[in-house]
Structure 1
Amino acid sequence: MSLAEDNGPERGGDEILAAEYVVGVLPLDERQAANRRIENEAAFARLVDQWEVHLAPMAAAYQPVEPPETVKPAIDRQLFSGPAGAGSAAAGGGLWASLAFWRGLAAAAIAAFAVYAAIPFINPPVQQPEMRLIASLAGDGSDVKYLAMYDAADSRVSLSHVSGERATDRDFELWMIEGQNPPVSMGLIPAGATAHIVITPEIREKLASGAVLAISLEPVGGSPTGQPTGPVVAAGDLKNL
């Protein structure tokens, strides 16, 4: 059971759920449910975005490492060892109260989750596991902010509007920037709390962790040149879920 389940419907439950989502400790079914809420509930998407920003400095302090094969069994023993394991945690001052444990568990659990998330999508060797990527789009001097999620399984980018408004005679246009290549338009962003943009096969082949999504302010109907003509009001790099 996760901390969000422990809190149930009490106030603050969504805060904890959003934090657990960002840290990467939710079980697969709960994470999938959270993904759906991010796509369809702007308020919950804002909470996830706030926790992304809040926890980013902690993540930057750690270098990525390849976990040994013993990590997964060790996590299972810590989380599912039954009454004896729970008792020893309580005697030590509370497993969940330990900052050192949280830091260690976060890194290990994210690695373990990556394995679990790939299992349902494993196909013959000629196919790749489906990607799930997320980006927080924001900009200096702009109040426009979106949370973007890409799910390769349905070939679309889901956008949750966090803040900022467009002018009545302008449209927001979404762009993908891959390395030093020119920006590629992914389409206009419909007005509303949530939006979904179906992407072309050409863009799907180029989307990967590290690619940048950007939003520019364009004339109604989109850029007339095929490249951004207005100011870029928000941008962010895609990261693996």
Structure 2
Amino acid sequence: MTLAEDTGPERGGDDLLAAEYVLGVLDADERQIVSRRIDADTVFARLVEDWEVSLSPLAAAYREVEPPVSVKTAVDRRLFGTAAAVSRPAEVRGGLWSSLAFWRGLAAAAVAALAIYIAVPILNPPVEQPQARLVASLAAEGSDVKYLAVYDAAHHEVGLSHVSGERASGKDFELWMIEGKNPPVSMGVIPAGATAHIIVSPAAHQKLAQGAVLAVSLEPSGGSPTGQPTGPVVAAGELKSI
């Protein structure tokens, strides 16, 4: 099989389903079904647990990002609504609104609030929101080679978790990016091991961020000598947003 013939992954199988559940790429209905199965099927639950352990090293290279305070404020507002205004007695209300001192004080408070409003963003710049990650299950019909790929836009790299399948002696797996009908672009030889990280070039960064197909081909040791795939495609899949 070549890239021109088939770039679609082979979906299905409990192993990939468990991996997709751990990665969070299932829709809400599928996730509920899988959650119920985890409770009822100990073998499948063990698969999910194995994937949690297997994929955890991919996150080790990324620092934790604390969400800004505004996120909690917005959540509280949606959950509990805004506090109701406390009504004032009519006699107090009338005297307050007619007081010159009140209006002068209000004006001074407004000026102070405006100064704080201008100063706070300068002293405390907003926390940069983490960029979304894209994931793909890489597989192909007739091949036992499977990878899970996570594209981290913030760090400009693709993390790969090797699921199954071995490269032949004297051969290497090479990762390719396919954008539409354009020729495949090599992203480099995949290092051997359970996990690997491949740095994304600036030219490929924006194309990957918009979603693309990743493919793995079997090449001579050291990678393709031509700049295009020379061996069979053993796994492929489309990047999707988490």
Give the structure-2-normalised TM-score.
0.52
3-state SS of the aligned residue for 1:207?
Answer: helix
User: What does 1:69-80 align with in structure 2 at a 5 Å threshold?
Assistant: 77=79
User: What does 1:68-217 align with in structure 2 at a 5 Å threshold?
Assistant: 77=79, 121-122=128-129, 130-217=131-218
CA distance in 2, matches of 1:137, 1:227: 19
Higher RCO (CA-CA < 8 Å; seq separation 6+): 2
CA distance in 2, matches of 1:171, 1:226: 14
3-state SS of the aligned residue for 2:203?
Answer: helix
CA distance in 2, matches of 1:207, 1:193: 23
1:19 shift after superposition: 5.1
Q: Determine whether 1:40 maps to 2:41.
A: no
- Residue of structure 2 in register with 1:237 after alignment: 238
Q: Determine whether 1:225 maps to 2:202.
A: no
3-state SS of the aligned residue for 1:224?
Answer: coil
TM-superposition CA deviations, 1:22-45 (whole Å, max 9, x none): 44789xxxxxxx99962527xxxx
Q: Aligned AA for 1:38?
A: L
8 Å contact kept, 1:214–1:232: yes
Q: Aligned AA for 1:21?
A: G
Q: Aligned AA for 2:24?
A: Y
3-state SS of the aligned residue for 2:209?
Answer: coil
1:121 shift after superposition: 3.6
8 Å contact kept, 2:153–2:209: no
Q: Percent identity?
A: 60
Distance change (3 Å), C-alpha of 1:162 and 1:222:
same
Distance change (3 Å), C-alpha of 1:237 and 1:221:
same
Q: What do you get for the CA RMSD once the two structures are aligned?
A: 3.6
CA distance in 2, matches of 1:130, 1:178: 21
Q: Aligned AA for 2:200?
A: I
TM-superposition CA deviations, 1:178-209 (whole Å, max 9, x none): 01110000000000000010111111121134
1:168 shift after superposition: 1.5
CA distance in 2, matches of 1:155, 1:35: 23
8 Å contact kept, 1:215–1:233: yes
Larger radius of gyration, structure 1 or 2? 2
3-state SS of the aligned residue for 2:154?
Answer: coil
Distance change (3 Å), C-alpha of 1:133 and 1:220:
same
8 Å contact kept, 2:217–2:232: yes
8 Å contact kept, 2:25–2:241: no
TM-superposition CA deviations, 1:38-83 (whole Å, max 9, x none): 2527xxxxxxxxxxxxxxxxxxxxxxxxxxxxxx979x64xx99xx
8 Å contact kept, 2:20–2:26: no
- Residue of structure 2 in register with 1:21 after alignment: 24
Give the structure-1-normalised TM-score.
0.52
1:210 shift after superposition: 3.5
3-state SS of the aligned residue for 2:215?
Answer: strand
CA distance in 2, matches of 1:36, 1:209: 29
